[in-house]
Amino acid sequence: QKEVEQDPGPLSVPEGAIVSLNCTYSNSAFQYFMWYRQYSRKGPELLMYTYSSGNKEDGRFTAQVDKSSKYISLFIRDSQPSDSATYLCAMSESSSNTGKLIFGQGTTLQVKP
């Protein structure tokens, strides 16, 4: 079983839709939860970061972490064609090495005009 499970999609939505992306994980030691966005032929770019359980909002993006269910989500409101990319969830255990990330497989999102 993978430590982090993420539906690879692809996910196709019309412009303006609310998008929900999710990951589940098995390692209860994970404390730091991140969402990265990756455009074609580019490296991942950090989009959202959350420590432990809770919600975090940044503009059209909301990240949620439910440690009791080992489930994290990313919501995108009023989705735009420029949001079309691969979204990767990532997690880490330790504050001393939060750069050692465990990634999900990534979900490919297409937002159609």
Partner 1 sequence: EAGVTQFPSHSVIEKGQTVTLRCDPISGHDNLYWYRRVMGKEIKFLLHFVKESKQDESGMPNNRFLAERTGGTYSTLKVQPAELEDSGVYFCASSPGQGYEKLFFGSGTQLSVL
Catalogue the E-assigned strands of 3-84. Answer: 4-6, 11-14, 19-25, 32-38, 45-51, 54-58, 61-66, 71-76
**91 touches partner 1 (CB under 8 A):** no
For residues 79 and 22, the answer to whether their CB atoms sit within 8 Å is no
**17 touches partner 1 (CB under 8 A):** no
Cα 43 from chain centre: 15
Stretch that binds partner 1, among 10-18, 56-64, 70-78, 101-109 (CB under 8 A): 101-109
Tokens of 19: 């998008």
Stretch that binds partner 1, among 12-20, 59-67, 69-77, 93-101 (CB under 8 A): 93-101
Stretch that binds partner 1, among 13-21, 55-63, 69-77, 90-98 (CB under 8 A): 90-98
Binding mask 68-87 for partner 1 (x = CB under 8 A): --------------------
